[in-house]
Structure 1
Amino acid sequence: MRTTRARAACGGVLLAALALAGCQWGGDSGAASGRPTLTGTAGGHGAVFLGADDCASRGRERVTEVPCGSERAAARVIARHDGPVGDGPACPGRSDYVLHISESRPSVDEDGDGEVSRGYACMRNLEPPHPGDPGGGGGPRTVVGDCVYGAGRGEVRETPCDASGPRSPEYRVVAAVAVRTACAPGTALYVSLGGAHPVGCAIRV
């Protein structure tokens, strides 16, 4: 479940948060927890290991590149970038999770936890659920249509807008704008989205 930064509109109180990535598991995306290991630096299915449009298996101990028609295929790469995720382009909004790829093992979280990363792959599950979709309750990015709740200690976290998650939604992001003043009256929370329109205008639900 992703935690994101926000500001309360009424008081300007910073809700500090970590930009955790889309390592989703359980009822969210089914992605593996822990730190799965890739087999080798090239999977044998393309010139680039887990390049765009390649597919990957999913497991608690190992993540491998597999043919997309394989029964083991669980997710497809929709974008692939070199270097640490913080230095590269953001994943597309429909990404369900981010897979960090190092020479011998990736980390399925946003900051890489100290791994020396060779790159990162933006992944989308081949079958539902898709937590990266608007309102889905997860994914590596907060997008318009997502819902969040106050998690305590100055944090807000995403949750499915249909209330199917363990926590009910409290706010919905209804617009993305360049500056806070562009949010409509009635905005209850400002959520950090990044990109060209970094301010998310959220209302109570």
Structure 2
Amino acid sequence: MVHHGGTPAAPACRSRGRGCLLNLLALAVVIGLGFGASKLFGHDGSSSSSSSSSSSSSGSHHSGDWKAGDCGGPDPDDAPDGYKAYGCGDSHATFKAVAVMDGSILPDSIQCPGGTDVIIRVSVSYGSGSGKGGGIPTKTVCGRNLSADHPGDPGAGGGQLVKGDCVTSTAKEVPCTSQGSQAYKVLALVEGRSKCPSGTTEPMELTMAIGRPYDTICAAKA
């Protein structure tokens, strides 16, 4: 007999033979699998939840469905580095997504296009105990400010390092207009100094380039 809405009742054993023992073992396995599935899919009273987390140069988005053209801004519930989606006409919106790329556990492996002012790392965590700063990376949102302030423009000193930016002798990005003779202009970002273009006077080989698609900054005096 099957109890509606419950676990099937165990068939009565008419003897203590091997067949009965096998039936009981099979039933135990079925019950065990059912219990495991309920824990996995959150049917034990706690539902699974998804959230987003951020790193120092990125933020969060709570739905994970970003696409190019979407707008967003700071998330007051996930300060100071969290972001959330807003309508582009909303007063809270501060940037527009110019590109949406795959996520990666190696942030430097994702290269946003030039003009990107903010790089937002979208990740998802499962379970009621998820907190900020963790989760599985799912997407990278490359955003450009809606205001006239664009630190990601070549030479402006912010965003992601691109051709046309300026760096110090220690490969730190700086605004081209503020360093004078101490700045070097980035001519190219390549793998191997032998690939630097003509005019390169300061090839900077990076010692830590895990995940980054280049290991040498080809530069010359600005």
For the criterion TM > 0.5, the same-fold answer is yes
The one-letter code of the counterpart of 2:218 is C
Matches within 5 A, 1:125-144: 125-140=145-160, 142-144=161-163
3-state SS of the aligned residue for 1:80?
strand
Aligned to 1:107: none
1:93 to 89, 114, 119: 114
Aligned to 1:159: 174
The one-letter code of the counterpart of 1:92 is P
The one-letter code of the counterpart of 2:63 is T
3-state SS of the aligned residue for 2:177?
coil
3-state SS of the aligned residue for 2:90?
coil
3-state SS of the aligned residue for 1:117?
strand
Mapped to 2, the partners of 1:123 and 1:191 lie a distance apart of: 28
Mapped to 2, the partners of 1:201 and 1:84 lie a distance apart of: 26
- After superposition, the Cα gap between the structure-2 partners of 1:100 and 1:64, relative to the gap in structure 1 and judged at 3 Å, is same
1:76 to 78, 92, 96: 96
**Would you say 1:190 and 2:204 are equivalent positions?**
yes
Mapped to 2, the partners of 1:179 and 1:123 lie a distance apart of: 30
Q: Deviations over 1:181-203 (max 9, x none)?
A: 343256123366965x8754211
The one-letter code of the counterpart of 2:163 is V
Aligned to 1:202: 219
Aligned alpha-carbon RMSD (Å): 3.5
Shift of 1:85: 6.1
The answer to which structure has the higher helix fraction is 2
Unpaired segments of 5 or more residues in structure 1? 1-20, 24-34, 43-47, 105-111
**Would you say 1:41 and 2:58 are equivalent positions?**
no
**Would you say 1:56 and 2:72 are equivalent positions?**
yes
Aligned to 1:109: none
Query: More relative contact order in 1 or in 2 (CA 8 Å, sep 6+)?
Result: 1
3-state SS of the aligned residue for 1:57?
strand
* Native 8 Å contact 1:22 1:96 kept in 2: no
3-state SS of the aligned residue for 1:156?
coil
Shift of 1:63: 1.9
Mapped to 2, the partners of 1:64 and 1:160 lie a distance apart of: 29
- After superposition, the Cα gap between the structure-2 partners of 1:118 and 1:175, relative to the gap in structure 1 and judged at 3 Å, is closer
Mapped to 2, the partners of 1:36 and 1:185 lie a distance apart of: 38
Aligned to 1:27: none
Count of matched residue pairs: 152
**Who wins on radius of gyration, i.e. which is larger?**
2
The answer to which structure has the higher strand fraction is 1
Shift of 1:90: 2.2
Aligned to 2:193: 180
The one-letter code of the counterpart of 1:52 is A
Unpaired segments of 5 or more residues in structure 2? 1-54, 126-131
